Structure 1
Amino acid sequence: MTGAAGGAGEPLGGLLKAARGAPDGYRAAVRRVLEWLGGVVGGTAVLGGGAEAELLKAVAGGNPRSAVVAEPGRHVRLLALGYERPHPVLVVTRPEPFDETAAAFTAHAATVLELLVRGGEAEAQRQRMTEAGAGVRLSVLQLLMGGEVALAQRTMAGLRPGLLDADRAVVLVLETSRAERQEVAGACEGLLAGRALVVRCPAEDGHVIVVAPHTGDGGAEAALRAFVAGRDGVFLGVSGRQPLSRVAAGYDDAVRSLAAARLMPGRVAGPATRVRLPDVLDAGAASAWAAGFLRPLGSVPAHDRYQLTATVRLGLEYTAVNAASLLGISRNTVRARMDRAAGLLGIDLGDVRARAALDLALGWQEEADDPGGAAPDLAALLAAGPVRAWARELLAPLGADERDLLRTLRAWVGENCAVEPAARRRGVHPRTVREHLRAAEGLLRRQLVAGGGGLYEVVLALAADPSEGRSGRSGRVHRARVRGSCPATVHP
């Protein structure tokens, strides 16, 4: 061991090297410093152990902040570190008394450890604040999903004042791998610099949800489009502008766009990139039909009615578990609301055509002005020329495949999306039906087997397309009656 202060330069160089920051973080630096100190004093150095329990407890409490134990063959020094109680305690033990050099090395190491511990405490505090902020943002998103705009605005005011003051917003959903989501979310927060609400989706591990208040310049959307263009493996779905009270509808729209983005070279899709059924329906007739379809929900008080319809929108698209995560409620509550809506409307949510009709009606909910009286017939709406043209265009890519995918698709939908009955109807193996469905998904750029909005569009297109007679069960989609057992979700 070095005996003079002047000869301590080389060991102190080792202390600086041990304390140097590294990718393994401050805890690893603390471990290296303790190993260095134990080596240079000819003993051991630990944090929080190796001394009498009562004395260690007193030093950790800060009274006193240091202590010495001297026994034959065992000499101990205890030093409290950091600001937060209980303090981490540096415990240095050696068989010989602490001479001037050993005491100096202990003091130097304690100073370095103090800085490392303070840095660790600051990092822990920063992490707690980050997690708390993420929790607040998630709560705000869930409030918006449930239509609680005023409460969401008050909650967000403490974190980002004025962010939700705009009347309308665009919802964007980014998809990446689970491993990269944290990095992508952080990049989004940096890019948007407080101009949008950025939330890691509680339902999908690879999704980041962005609610960007509409300010007219489209800056948030442009920034995210540029980000996706420069980063492989990230996809972006964009909604149309929605009132803040309809963020759930915007989210639904963005996820449907995301399904299309997965199949596009640019990996970005929004409402403007495709013509949708609502774009070609007669607005007046469709609004009247939707109002009539949803009229039974009018018996529910206004506030409860919005919660009910917001839940149903998400329940039509996702599992009860995922819808519950997005809304911040239990999955049993989701199922109960779905069952309640089905009972009021007199429909069977186990029938894909009933789900497709309800999904379309909810999409028109804001514009729907109930004129009273008998509701128009959805079949008549779908028979209109522009709708039939839309349906033919949507289904046209299937004709590029020689396997008659359209016939398989009609049989599958006619059998309520059941593969085995569809295979029997087509006279093929179930594996063939599954292969045809996968091929149809790629050609139509819509997910079908997993259900949701892409499937509902195809179901309605099949009902509207007059190019081939309906196969299987009736193609009527306006209202399927409830059977004795009605599933509570689209994907039970």
Structure 2
Amino acid sequence: MTVLRRAWDADRTLRGYQYKARQLRFAVLSALLAGEPTLARRMTTGAVPPLLDADRLRVYLLRCPPTDRDPITRAYQDPSGYHGRDLIVQCPAFKEHLIGLIADDEEEVDGSSRQALGRGEALRRLVRDNPHYALGISDPHPLGATAEACSQATHALAVARSTPTRIAPHDGQSPLAGLLPRQQALIWARTLLRPLDALPKTTTDITRLTMAMPRSAVARLINISRNTITAHLRRAGRALDLDLDDVRARAAVNLALALTSTCAGPEPETHNPTPTLDDLLQTDPAGAWAQAFLRPLPAHHRRTLQTWIDANADAQDAARRIGISRNTVRTHLRTAEALLGRDLLTHGTGIHDIVHALRITADLAA
């Protein structure tokens, strides 16, 4: 009986340790997603993950059955609760996702440098050995840009699901926000978002999150109800004078948020009228981006995409407008995901680029 009690106590202690390690890894991920690597170091004083000493990282987003996530995480875990130079974190928003934060620094081997693969190669091997897995891989990013790396990995995962290898790196295409005239774009973005400054920070943070993921995922991520998420969004929508249930309004807000996060600095001084979004999207770089972005898409799929956007991303409504079945609409959208490298149906994180690209090309045609 004493032996059994000791075994039970040891098992309980181990489960408690695994739970705490999982929570700590998620805390580090949360700080990095907020662009705060220094905060991540402060939270882990005495046991700083080696990842936080890296200059850059890649995000490996693994799609697998939810029941496989914990065994995978524990298989590569070291005694400190981390994963060597990397971190593997169970995504709290999407139960089928495992997030690998893989250090992307070079290391010295026999006097020459080579790229350290870390756990990235192990995740690739898992996908090769399991036909139900898929893997999206971001470009290298500084630690403070982990959120952008996660977005890239999400889009890459949408492509990976339709490729024979089920592994896809990000396509490397420059984001629209980086191609717009910097000063004018920043004036527009800050003017649009300024009403959010008067709202509670919780409302602003929730608004940012819901531009990048579905409301149900945000609710799971921060452990509040969907009704509370909806209430915060209504408050933000009233302040912005926008309907945040409309896909075009969300695309505009998402672009403004991207601009203000990448173009830090003082408020630009200007005596000219505030530019509109149309002014920004009618520039030559934006036109070139949109044409290159949509070029892989056949004309009939492009028409389906346009109708889908006009129907506020409602596949049933789009099918009725076109006169085809809802399944055919979804098939066209799946094809568009693979050709454009954007997630449209699983979590919808790529819809903003679609909205802007179709808007720009429609203006060019007009």
| TM-score, normalised via structure 2 length | 0.78
**Which of 157, 174, 178 is residue 66 of structure 2 equivalent to?**
178
Change (3 A) 1:254 1:432: closer
Contact 1:405 1:440 in 2 (8 A): yes
- How far 1:202 moved relative to its partner? 1.4
Alignment of 1:380 onto 2:297: no
2:138 match: 238
Structure-2 separation of matches of 1:184 and 1:220: 23
Change (3 A) 1:435 1:299: same
Contact 2:154 2:343 in 1 (8 A): no
Contact 1:145 1:310 in 2 (8 A): no
Contact 2:155 2:170 in 1 (8 A): no
- Matched residue of 1:457: which SS? helix
- Matched residue of 1:448: which SS? coil
Q: Per-residue displacement from partner, 1:453-479 (whole Å, max 9, x unpaired)? A: 311111111011148858xxxxxxxxx
Within 5 Å, give how 1:326-341 maps onto structure 2: 326-341=221-236
| Amino acid across the alignment from 1:460 | H
Change (3 A) 1:289 1:167: farther
1:201 match: 91
Alignment of 1:252 onto 2:151: yes
1:371 match: 268
Change (3 A) 1:260 1:223: farther
Q: Per-residue displacement from partner, 1:48-93 (whole Å, max 9, x unpaired)? A: xxxxxxxxxxxxxxxxxxxxxxxxxxxxxxxx524xxxxx5xxxxx
Structure-1 separation of matches of 2:348 and 2:75: 29
Alignment of 1:407 onto 2:328: no
Contact 1:248 1:310 in 2 (8 A): no
Contact 2:60 2:120 in 1 (8 A): no
Alignment of 1:124 onto 2:21: no
**Which of 293, 296, 300 is residue 394 of structure 1 equivalent to?**
293
Structure 2 runs not aligned, ≥5 long: 108-112
2:184 match: 285
Structure 1 runs not aligned, ≥5 long: 1-79, 83-87, 89-116, 471-492
- Matched residue of 2:218: which SS? helix
**Which of 85, 106, 124 is residue 229 of structure 1 equivalent to?**
124
Structure-2 separation of matches of 1:390 and 1:414: 21
- Matched residue of 2:352: which SS? helix
Change (3 A) 1:328 1:173: farther
Structure-2 separation of matches of 1:328 and 1:216: 38
- How far 1:451 moved relative to its partner? 5.3
Contact 1:398 1:444 in 2 (8 A): yes
Change (3 A) 1:201 1:266: same
2:110 match: none
- Matched residue of 2:261: which SS? coil
- Matched residue of 2:100: which SS? strand
Contact 1:277 1:390 in 2 (8 A): yes
Q: Taking CA–CA contacts closer than 8 Å with sequence separation of 6 or more, which of the two structures ends up with the larger relative contact order?
A: 2
Corresponding residue pairs, total: 350
Alignment of 1:81 onto 2:2: yes
- Matched residue of 1:236: which SS? strand
- Matched residue of 1:408: which SS? helix
Q: Per-residue displacement from partner, 1:417-472 (whole Å, max 9, x unpaired)? A: 233443444344445434433333333332323453311111111011148858xx
Structure-2 separation of matches of 1:131 and 1:376: 50
Structure-2 separation of matches of 1:456 and 1:468: 19
- How far 1:386 moved relative to its partner? 2.6
- Matched residue of 1:173: which SS? strand
| Amino acid across the alignment from 2:212 | E
Structure-2 separation of matches of 1:398 and 1:213: 34
Structure-2 separation of matches of 1:185 and 1:415: 41
Q: Per-residue displacement from partner, 1:319-351 (whole Å, max 9, x unpaired)? A: 333213323555444333323322222211111
Q: Per-residue displacement from partner, 1:355-395 (whole Å, max 9, x unpaired)? A: 11111111122234532664322222222223222222222
- Matched residue of 1:199: which SS? strand
1:7 match: none
Contact 1:199 1:209 in 2 (8 A): yes
- How far 1:406 moved relative to its partner? 1.4
Change (3 A) 1:212 1:283: farther
Contact 2:342 2:351 in 1 (8 A): yes
- Matched residue of 1:379: which SS? helix
> Share of identical aligned residues, percent?
33
Structure-2 separation of matches of 1:288 and 1:221: 41
- How far 1:220 moved relative to its partner? 9.2
Change (3 A) 1:385 1:223: same
Moved more, 175-184 or 215-224: 215-224
| Amino acid across the alignment from 1:262 | R
**Which of 182, 188, 212 is residue 317 of structure 1 equivalent to?**
212
Within 5 Å, give how 1:33-44 maps onto structure 2: none
Structure-2 separation of matches of 1:345 and 1:216: 45
Structure-2 separation of matches of 1:446 and 1:156: 35
Contact 1:192 1:223 in 2 (8 A): no
**Which of 300, 313, 327 is residue 417 of structure 1 equivalent to?**
313
Contact 1:192 1:220 in 2 (8 A): no
Greater CA radius of gyration, 1 or 2? 1
2:172 match: 273
The alignment's C-alpha RMSD in Å is: 3.6
Contact 1:133 1:159 in 2 (8 A): no
Within 5 Å, give how 1:110-189 maps onto structure 2: 118-145=6-33, 152-160=40-48, 164=52, 170-189=58-77
2:344 match: 448
